[in-house]
Amino acid sequence: MTFVPEIIVLCGGLSSEREVSLRSGQAVASALPGARLVELETDVLPAWIDGAKHLVLPILHGGWGEDGRAQAEMEARSITFAGCSSAANRLCMDKVATKRAMRSAQVPAIPEITFAGAAKPTAAELIAALGQQIVIKPSDQGSSVGLYMLEGEAAVAQALAEIPAAGQWMAERRLLGREMSVGILDGQAMGIVEIIPLTGVYDYQTKYSKGSSEYRFPAPLESPVAAAIAGAAQRLFAACGCRDFARADVFLEPDGRFYFLEINTMPGMTATSLMPKSASCVGLDFTSLVRRMAAPALARAGQPHCH
């Protein structure tokens, strides 16, 4: 007899991205007839979820839901779930580890300077190494949280003064050019989406506010460039040990070179999100995309001790 589990869509939690997770989770659950939407008020996996009865589709952005802890709990309880394993989530949440994976897979990545909040470099040191235009961001948070776009020594010094002593940080040369994102489904790149923030900066507010960015999908690109970006996204997905789905973010500079920024294991699934736009380029509507995201986990569900 074939095992047909009830699909549990988990969203919410306590991260700074809770509201986006709730919106994403509601949209995903509505695309899966019979799925049960569970809005978490804490960062704890409900005790009633049972690997013998349920399959989990976690739509949990940031923190516990995206850094591998929720997935590790499900693995320990033999609960089959969609998306990346705990190890891949942990790696992809750490921007430094992700960059190591990029370099191992010959995926273009820009040089970075990493530092602890308790041992900050000086503004002069950063500018000498990276130039006048600098981005500073936490190396272990998602979705543009704590992102500084800076120009000149005074601005860099001010940002460094604001950074708390706790936490790990990363500074990079600011990339100028065209910002893009590509969804990856079961290891295959979908369409490339170009993001044109109307404020000039694609930050947390811009990302989740309707009408604050324009999008082109598929992005208008020469075929060899689009193919090179898609191929690099697929190599990055494999190098990070991802499975089922993810989204990779990339910058194309005016000289034609591109650099990957990160790979996101828990892409947003709201009305303004990039993943559904990427899927639409390859003929998948929202419902089809969600079903394809869940399908590999449903196939795994009949296999004992497989997550």
Q: Which residues are catalytic?
A: 17, 143, 208, 247, 249, 262, 264, 268
Neighbouring CB atoms inside 10 A of 291's CB total: 13
Compute CA distances 285 → 86, 173, 192, 269, whole Å.
28, 37, 16, 12
Scored b (16 or more CB within 10 A) or e, 145-174 reads ebebbbeeeebbbebbeebeeeebbbbbbb
DSSP state of 33: T
Among 252, 303, 233, residue whose Cα is nearest residue 92? 233
Among 185, 176, 204, residue whose Cα is nearest residue 280? 185
E strands within the chain?
6-12, 36-40, 54-58, 80-81, 112-116, 133-138, 148-151, 168-173, 178-185, 188-197, 213-216, 245-252, 258-264
**Pair 160, 119: CB distance under 8 Å:** no
d(CA 37, CA 83): 17
Q: Measured on CA atoms in the order 237, 240, 246, 252, is the torsion positive or negative?
A: negative
d(CA 126, CA 148): 14
54-58 vs 6-12, strand pairing mode? parallel
